[in-house]
Amino acid sequence: MSRYSFPALALHALRGHQRWSRALRNDAPKPAYDAVIIGGGGHGLATAYFLAKNHGMRRIAVLEKGVIGHGNSGRNTQVVRSDYYHLPSSKFFERSLRLYEGLSRELNYNIMLSQRGKINLAHSPHEMEMQRRTVNAIRMNGVDADMLSVDDLRRLEPALNFKGRYPIEGGSAQWRGGMARHDAVVWAFARAAGKLGVDIVQDCEVTGFRIEHARVSGVETSRGRISAPRVCMAVAGHSSELARRAGIRLPINSMALQAMVTEPIKPLLNHVVISAVVHGYVSQSDRGEVIMGGGADIYHSYAQRGGLPVLEANAQSAMELYPCLGRLRIMRQWAGIVDITPDTSPVMGLTPVQGLYVSGGWGTGGYKAIPAGGETMAWTIANDRPHELITAFGLGRFATGALVDEGAASGVAH
Ligand SMILES: Cc1cc2nc3c(=O)[nH]c(=O)nc-3n(C[C@H](O)[C@H](O)[C@H](O)COP(=O)(O)OP(=O)(O)OC[C@H]3O[C@@H](n4cnc5c(N)ncnc54)[C@H](O)[C@@H]3O)c2cc1C
């Protein structure tokens, strides 16, 4: 009987749900592995899963300093989409969205993917022109995108404030964009990786590296030394600090990015709605809470909570778009430490230390990248060369100047 089949659920119900075994692994660290992944967020867990599944590696550990999913992967606003301007980003994020579309089945875990559509508002004729240009580029990249008139928007989002301080002129949409439940994505990858034999080691902080002749041979951790010929850093806002311990300087700034939710209400918002001009975005969760986000707190920080001025600015933006939200109470507010690069594209692949890999710089938009990030990093680690989808995202671009400038892709500037 499979774990969550109807007869299994019925049997557990009859037993008063007293005999469930652990769904997720919580292992003690072993002295040696074939590969160690640092960071139990979505990227680390997905990388471990694909290493085991696609490359047959079995002695793998994910080392997490806290508990899995308590970093940015469990703190984001859950938006998934692939409407990127430049071809390398477009191909990569489209692969990720395709993987998301099959992820519940692949991992046998309902990640609650809701492709409700993501809308970008335009507030001036000039912005409409820019969005047309972007939509054209996205379509040329083979990804779906459409322009929207004001009449379209009135039909799609009737509660929008069309005649406010920033009148709405139209917008654009990616209909396959939407949301997926962030905790479920983390737990799904953790459970699937665990089933393939990956050790998930929590409460285990990596404090340093063992490097001989420019080659990594293991890590120092709060629970002892662990040997491994391949080590991958997937630690988001701690990327630059951790890499520094391996003698590598990463072009990454760590800042707090915050979000908040209101008390739950009946369905009001039908899509994810973003406005670059009011500098905010809103959506409604399946529980009815209105989710609001905006810009990052513009100073370096390792605190997982944002400041009050940005909270206030985000609330103002949301109310500019939907004035009726002003009558709701904020229920929760939080932040994650995001790892932002100069071109806001990720840093993935090899490092100057042999056997040491990096998956970072995910910044404010790496949740949507988790499946493809894991798949391509696993390939890169197994083959010791960058997967074709991530060659543009290597560290080398900061020396050559071949940046992939996706600063405008996040909807609101960071
Ligand atoms: C408020 C907010 C909203 C966002 N909204 C979106 C969105 O709508 N869509 C989107 O695509 N992206 C969004 N993002 C970005 C997205 O959440 C991240 O890019 C993504 O989750 C990064 O995943 P990760 O696995 O790299 O990092 P994380 O999930 O942060 O995982 C890194 C892990 O590494 C661990 N770690 C750190 N240092 C060490 C160490 N020395 N040893 C061991 N473990 C260590 C941490 O504890 C953490 O668990 C948002 C982020 C925030 C904060």
C-alpha 235 to ligand 1 mean position (Å)? 7
Are 359 and 92 within 8 A, CB to CB? no
Which residue type sits at 13?
A
Residues contacting residue 380 through CB under 8 Å, at least 6 positions apart: 348, 349, 350, 357, 386, 387, 390
Q: Which helix (H) or strand (E) holds 210?
A: strand 206-212
How far is Cα 99 from Cα 102, in angstroms, rounded to an integer?
A: 5
C-alpha 190 to ligand 1 mean position (Å)? 15
C-alpha 213 to ligand 1 mean position (Å)? 31
Nearest Cα residue to atom 26 of ligand 1? 236
Which residues does ligand 1 sit against, CB inside 6 Å? 38-44, 63-66, 70-73, 75-79, 205-206, 234-236, 238, 242, 257-259, 293, 335-336, 338, 362-368
Long-range pairs of 289-292 with CB within 8 A, sequence gap ≥ 24: 289/261, 289/262, 289/263, 289/264, 289/331, 290/261, 290/262, 290/265, 290/318, 290/322, 290/325, 290/328, 291/77, 291/78, 291/259, 291/260, 291/261, 292/259, 292/260, 292/261, 292/262, 292/317, 292/318, 292/325
For the entire predicted model, the pTM comes to 0.97
Q: Taking Cα atoms as reference points, which of 337, 360, 60 lies closest to residue 195?
A: 60
C-alpha 28 to ligand 1 mean position (Å)? 23
How many other CB atoms sit within 10 Å of the CB of residue 342? 14
Of ligand 1's listed atoms, the one at least distance from the Cα of 237 is 30
Radius of gyration of the chain (CA): 21
How many other CB atoms sit within 10 Å of the CB of residue 242? 23
How far is Cα 264 from Cα 373, in angstroms, rounded to an integer?
A: 33
pLDDT in tens, the chain (414 residues): 678 889 999 999 999 999 998 889 999 999 999 999 999 999 999 999 999 999 999 899 999 999 999 999 999 999 999 999 999 999 999 999 999 999 999 999 999 999 999 999 999 999 999 999 999 999 999 999 999 999 999 999 999 999 999 999 999 999 999 999 999 999 999 999 999 999 999 999 999 999 999 999 999 999 999 999 999 999 999 999 999 999 999 999 999 999 999 999 999 999 999 999 999 999 999 999 999 999 999 889 998 889 999 999 999 999 999 999 999 999 999 999 999 999 999 999 999 999 999 999 999 999 999 999 999 999 999 999 999 999 999 999 999 999 999 988 777 776
Which two tokens mark 222?
A: 């709060």
C-alpha 382 to ligand 1 mean position (Å)? 23
C-alpha 41 to ligand 1 mean position (Å)? 6
Q: Which helix (H) or strand (E) holds 397?
A: helix 397-400
Long-range pairs of 408-411 with CB within 8 A, sequence gap ≥ 24: 408/85, 408/134, 408/276, 409/83, 409/84, 409/85, 409/89, 409/344, 409/365, 410/344, 410/363, 410/364, 410/365, 411/120, 411/274, 411/275, 411/276, 411/281
Nearest Cα residue to atom 31 of ligand 1? 41
Nearest Cα residue to atom 41 of ligand 1? 206
Phi-psi domain of 255 (left: phi exceeds 0; alpha: psi -120 through 50; beta: other):
beta
Residue from 75, 235, 334 whose mutation best tests the ligand 1 pocket (most atoms within 8 A of CB): 235
